[in-house]
Amino acid sequence: MSLNPSGAQSPATAQSAPRDVPARFVWHPRNPSAPLTALVTGASAGIGAEFARQLAGRGFDLLLVARRATRLTELARTIESEAGVRCTVLAADLAQECGVAQVEAVIRQLDNLAILVNNAGFGTVGQFVRSDPLRQQEMVYLHVMAAMRLTQAALPALLHHRYGALINVSSVAAYIRLRGNVNYSATKAFLNAFSETLHHELQGTGVFVQALCPGFTRTEFHSTPDYQNFKPHTYPAFMWQSAQKVVQRSLDAVGNGQVIYVPSLVYRALLLALQTPVLGETMLRVGGRLAQA
């Protein structure tokens, strides 16, 4: 990873960028002056760890962020030996101001940053009225504040090189608003609106935005104490995807014109069905009962 000690850059903006940038995202840019870096938050498990592995496979050096330093270090060693890229780890709690400020400061010193994946996240189960307010506040900080602040810190480098991708890991829960999931759906809806609007601002700059909306994905997400009563087998196998498939489809789709990207045909069909009045309401009622079961 190369750091820019002065942090001085003169970023292009959506207004000033020349029009010679490609209309689609190109995974291998022409003559990069140094290896490019991808930063992945929540890289110690699940979808984030998979983003790390696949971005390394596409030749990017990595900066891996999460709270569990040991996990990150183990993953970094494996990836370095298998993919031959450089991996740096940064242990930070992105649900806290000090953690966000720490990562933000490192990003502002990175002159070769090309990819930012805002992936770190968690869910809770149960009615909002009875939920722990501190835990809900942490969710807003992690899904909303951290993603917003790290994106703003990353943008000058990406605009300067007129090359980059911002992937915000959202969820189909942004649209499937089940009881028991109030703040999770709300924060993921923020990520979708944020991504869509930012996309408009960045058109023609060479920087592409995606809000990735997976459905159920086999990771550690449903293994936390919050989900101790959650029964994955209540949901049919076709509703579950592997993190490997979710990430591969996400990376292949960057810059394909779909800012909101649902990496599964099953969930695309579900989202369409939800828009029909009677069927949609029934599905939300049944889904809400299953989630609370």
Ligand X SMILES: NC(=O)c1ccc[n+]([C@@H]2O[C@H](COP(=O)([O-])OP(=O)(O)OC[C@H]3O[C@@H](n4cnc5c(N)ncnc54)[C@H](OP(=O)(O)O)[C@@H]3O)[C@@H](O)[C@H]2O)c1
Active site residues: 184
Residue 102 Cβ vs ligand X, minimum distance, rounded to whole Å: 11
Distance CA 259, CA 249 (A): 13
Tell me the H-state helices in the chain: 46-57, 69-83, 97-108, 133-140, 147-161, 182-202, 243-253, 265-274, 277-292
Nearer to ligand X, 159 or 254 (CB): 254
**How many angstroms separate the first and last alpha carbons of the chain?**
47
- In 3D space, the residue among 12, 57, 64 whose CA is nearest the CA of residue 38 turns out to be 64
Residue 219 Cβ vs ligand X, minimum distance, rounded to whole Å: 3
Nearer to ligand X, 112 or 219 (CB): 219
Give, in order, the Cα–Cα distances in Å from 144 to each of 94, 114, 170, 212.
10, 21, 10, 15
Contact 207, 164 (CB under 8 A): yes
Residue 63 Cβ vs ligand X, minimum distance, rounded to whole Å: 13
Instruction: Name the DSSP letter for residue 227.
Output: G
User: Which residues of this chain interact with ligand X, rule CB under 6 A?
Assistant: 41-48, 66-68, 71, 93-95, 119-122, 142, 169, 171, 214, 216-217, 219-221
Residue 51 Cβ vs ligand X, minimum distance, rounded to whole Å: 9
Nearer to ligand X, 50 or 61 (CB): 50
Nearer to ligand X, 205 or 217 (CB): 217
What number of other Cβ atoms are within 10 A of residue 291's Cβ? 17
Phi (first) and psi of residue 90, to 5 degrees: -140, 110
Residue 64 Cβ vs ligand X, minimum distance, rounded to whole Å: 9
Distance CA 29, CA 164 (A): 10
Distance CA 256, CA 271 (A): 20
Nearer to ligand X, 12 or 52 (CB): 52
